[in-house]
Amino acid sequence: MESWLDGHRAPVPDETTARDLPVKGVLPAELDGRYLRNGPNPKPGEPSRHWFTGHGMVHGIRLRDGRAEWYRNRWVRTTRFTNGAPYLRDDLSLDLAAVPANTHVIAHDGTVYALVENGLPYELTPDLDTVGPCDFAGRLTTAMTAHPKRDPRTGDLLFFGYGAVPPYLTHHRLSADGRLVESREIEVPGPTMMHDFAITERYVVWLDLPMVFDLELLDRGMPYRWDGAYGARIGVMPREGEPRVRWFDVDPCYVFHVGNAFEDDRGRVTLTGVRYDEADIASLWSEIGGAPSSVSSPSGDSYLHRWTLDPATGRAHEEKLDDLSVEFPTLDDDRVGRAHRYLYSVTRSGVVKHDLESGSSASRRLDGHVGEAVFVPAEGRRDEDDGWLLTVESGASGSSLLVLAAADLSETARVLLPRRVPAGFHGSWIPAAAVR
């Protein structure tokens, strides 16, 4: 059986709802909202050629007054889910409403959206029922990344779309009140898989890396492969004015997920992200359904790195920050685009806290597979790490929503879930006041 249909990634066969979930420990009473997490989940018996192409399924837990009121899981009902509509047209353009919305789930301007990087966002109700695709009053004509960035000062949501046919890259800005107010094409040499990006207070930071579209791999579900001839570079683009990108060459690599970016007092841009070299991205890609790897004994590991982009010299300095193989870096959303001290990531069976000032890290090992850890700030907090990390742990005995103290990674509470939750991608803590 394919690896993405077995073990901790194995899909579940149905939707369910459970109420008044058992809790071990004490849930902080101020956690009033929903933890939502998205991931691919093919229908039972449905062919699956790549882990990334399964239908989206959102798992949710409602917390209030120190209780776990409910758990529910629901498929995102795209047109492909409901009527089998193909998402690729004859001209290689995508039917953006048919692509499975399986990667992230966020809230903006009171609305919950399920996201995928090569399709339209899908609006959901707060109880996870599908409303339908959203193109922001017809203004969005490209895909929307699964990794938009909200500016903590303005409330604007910055995002992009990439495609296998021109325009290869388009930058967008959604106002705090949900209007698409800016769209502009960014010139890049060709079609690549640009999964994530970053922002600072003044810049957008692009990752133009050598995972390129290959039509001959179309029957594998995700037609992308490593092409060392494409090159690797990071771009810095002013958020205002002409979209002139200054590109910095870097050593060939791939980055699925950035941690953050910010500007220092010397005008340099610092970017953190989880870096794969050629052998390790080839190994991972082969394991989850992509082009077979020709590298002998690759590990599929990835490590937290920092790139410092200096406009005075035009050079990028790269450094490895930790020897732990990690993924899914997160931080306090109020620090997006700003200087910060802490990042959080996960290993295959644990949560890691990175102190970027001291260069140290602390980890908590857990028994099962651990998903992305989402930071929730405490009310009236005094320190950057005053809050909690929410993550789903899945093991042989079932799945739990873990609430860890971000300061020391100690377990505050554990919500026992009524079913196994497969490994997935990204999620959000959505306060009750943030949804209509």
Average pLDDT over residues 19-42: 98
pLDDT of residue 325: 97
User: Which is nearest to 224 in space by CA: 294, 148, 289?
Assistant: 289
pLDDT of residue 92: 66
Average pLDDT over residues 227-232: 96
**DSSP structure class, residue 192:** B
Distance CA 113, CA 136 (A): 12
Tokens, residue 11: 């899909």
Least confident stretch, 52-61, 170-179, 218-227: 218-227
pLDDT of residue 295: 59
Tokens, residue 193: 């898989």
pLDDT tops 80 at residue 262? yes
pLDDT of residue 294: 62
Distance CA 331, CA 431 (A): 17
pLDDT (tens digit per residue) in 39-88:
999 999 998 889 999 999 999 999 999 999 999 999 999 999 999 878 77
pLDDT (tens digit per residue) in 281-325:
999 998 898 777 665 546 789 999 999 999 999 999 999 999 999
Which long-range contacts (C-beta less than 8 Å, at least 24 apart) are formed by 360-368?
361/322, 361/324, 362/408, 362/409, 363/324, 363/409, 364/404, 364/409, 364/410, 366/393, 366/402, 367/393, 367/395, 368/8, 368/393, 368/394, 368/395, 368/396, 368/399
Q: Where are the beta strands (DSSP E) in 321-397?
A: 327-330, 342-347, 350-355, 360-365, 369-370, 374-377, 387-395
pLDDT tops 90 at residue 349? no
Contact between residue 108 and residue 95 where contact means Cβ atoms under 8 Å apart:
no
Average pLDDT, the chain: 95
Average pLDDT over residues 128-147: 98
pLDDT of residue 63: 98
Q: Is 244 helix (H, G, I), strand (E, B) or coil?
A: coil
pLDDT tops 60 at residue 185? yes
Among residues of the chain, what percentage have pLDDT more than 70? 98
Distance CA 289, CA 9 (A): 13
Contact between residue 119 and residue 100 where contact means Cβ atoms under 8 Å apart:
yes
